[in-house]
Amino acid sequence: MSVTIRPIEAKDKEEWLNLWTGANGYIEFYKSQDKITPEISNATFDRFLDANTPMYSAVAVDDSTGKIIGFANYLTHLNTWTIEDTMYLNDLFVSPDNRLKGVGRKLIEYVYKEADRLNCGKCYWSTQFENHRAQLLYTKVGVKSGFLTYFRPS
C-alpha cells in the first residue's frame, strides 16, 4: 500500500472528523462519544491550523484513492526534566480497513521526525492495557516506560 503522510490542511476537516467521530472512528473505539462534543472536535481541528498553538496533526493519505485513512495528533510541552520541549503523541488512528499495512508505523515515524524538527528531546504516548494490537506495533517502534497513568476522578 502506498501512503503519503503529510500535515493536516483546512480542506481535510470533513474526512478527519469522519475518522475522529464517525462510525468505527477513533472516539467510538475509545467509547467516548458522550465525552467529545462537536465543540471539542471543532476546537481541536482549529488548533491544528493555529500557528500560535503547539498542537499538530498529520494525516495518512492512500495514494490510490486520495482519501485520508489515518491520523496522528500530537503536541509539544515543557518538561521539568529537560531543557528542550517534549512531544506527546496524543492520538493515533488508522481506519479499520487499513490496519496491519504499515500505516500506523509510518505515522509514528512522521511524528518522530517532527519531534526532531521541533527540537523535542523526548517523544512519548500511552495506550490502553487492552489495546494489544497497537502494542504489537509500539514494542517495535518504542520502549515501554514502566509508568502507569492516573487521572483526577470526575
In this prediction, the residues of the chain whose per-residue pLDDT falls under 50 are none
Evaluate whether residue 91 is within a structural domain. Answer: yes
CATH number of the domain that residue 48 is part of: 3.40.630.30
At 4 the pLDDT is 98
| Close Cβ partners of 13 (under 8 Å, ≥ 6 residues apart) | 45
**Among all chains, which residue has been given the C-alpha cell 528531546?**
121
At 146 the pLDDT is 85
Evaluate whether residue 40 is within a structural domain. Answer: yes
Evaluate whether residue 7 is within a structural domain. Answer: yes
At 10 the pLDDT is 98
Q: If you write DSSP's letter for every residue of 54-101 in order, what string do you get? A: -EEEEEEEETTT--EEEEEEEEEE--TT-SSEEEEEEEEEE-GGGTTS
Evaluate whether residue 35 is within a structural domain. Answer: yes
Evaluate whether residue 154 is within a structural domain. Answer: no
Which of 38, 42, 60 is CA-nearest to residue 50?
42
| Close Cβ partners of 111 (under 8 Å, ≥ 6 residues apart) | 58, 72, 74, 87, 89, 123
Over residues 107-122, the pLDDT tens digits come to 999 999 999 999 999 9
H or E segment to which residue 3 belongs: strand 3-7
**Residue-level length of the chain:** 154
Q: Which amino acid is at 77?
A: H
| Counted domains in the chain | 1
Cell of 77: 510541552
At 44 the pLDDT is 98
Does this model's pTM top 0.85? My answer is yes
Which of 132, 75, 70, 62 is CA-nearest to residue 107?
70
Evaluate whether residue 31 is within a structural domain. Answer: yes
Over residues 34-58, the pLDDT tens digits come to 999 999 999 999 999 999 999 999 9
Evaluate whether residue 147 is within a structural domain. Answer: no
At 74 the pLDDT is 98
At 11 the pLDDT is 98
At 90 the pLDDT is 97
Enclosing domain of residue 25: 3-141
